[in-house]
């Protein structure tokens, strides 16, 4: 599906927090890899927008969730999601595709709840983004998230 931006969970050096995102980095190409080089560590709970390189999406919104996968918390997901929503409004990004930013000891359910709660609250008061597509890595994960959404969670 065409999207304006892909959401990419990252550490404080903009390195991918999820193994599957290494594939995204390779697909984005060398120009993207050059864009995500940072001189100094970024603050946990922040968000950065870069070009999408060779990806079909024009932009990538990086959620800075922790220094390493085992430091990610629901609080860091919430804060980074809030920062990302601010960036999306500023850049007028309408449609986002995002994996569930579960890493380390943070469960998929807790990460999804935190992300979706922030996005839904933001969408009630802002015009951008208009759509969030949660990308899953398995049918079981998709089924679990669909069930949570049907129950009014996530």
pTM for this structure?
A: 0.92
One-character DSSP codes across 48-110: EEEE-TTSSSSEEEEEEEESSGGG--HHHHHHHHHHHHHHHHHHT--EEEEE----TT--HHH
Domains (range + CATH), the chain: 5-150 (3.40.220.10)
Could you read off the pLDDT tens digit of each residue along the chain, which spans 154 residues? 789 999 999 999 999 998 888 999 999 999 999 999 999 999 999 999 999 999 999 999 999 999 999 999 999 999 999 999 999 999 999 999 999 999 999 998 899 999 989 998 999 999 999 999 988 888 888 887 887 776 655 5
């Amino acid at each position: 599906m065409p999207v304006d931006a892909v959401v990419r969970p990252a550490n404080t050096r903009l390195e991918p927090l999820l193994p599957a995102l290494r594939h995204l980095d390779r697909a984005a190409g060398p120009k993207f890899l050059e864009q995500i080089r940072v001189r100094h560590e970024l603050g946990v709970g922040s968000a950065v927008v870069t070009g999408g390189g060779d990806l079909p999406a024009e932009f990538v919104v990086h959620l800075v969730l922790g220094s390493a996968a085992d430091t990610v918390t629901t609080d860091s997901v919430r804060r980074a999601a809030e920062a990302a929503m601010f960036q999306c409004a500023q850049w007028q990004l309408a449609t986002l595709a995002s994996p569930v930013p579960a890493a380390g000891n943070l469960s998929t359910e807790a990460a999804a709840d935190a992300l979706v709660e922030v996005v839904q609250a933001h969408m009630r008061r802002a015009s951008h983004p208009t759509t969030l597509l949660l990308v899953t890595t398995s049918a079981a994960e998709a089924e679990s998230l669909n069930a949570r959404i049907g129950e009014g969670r996530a």
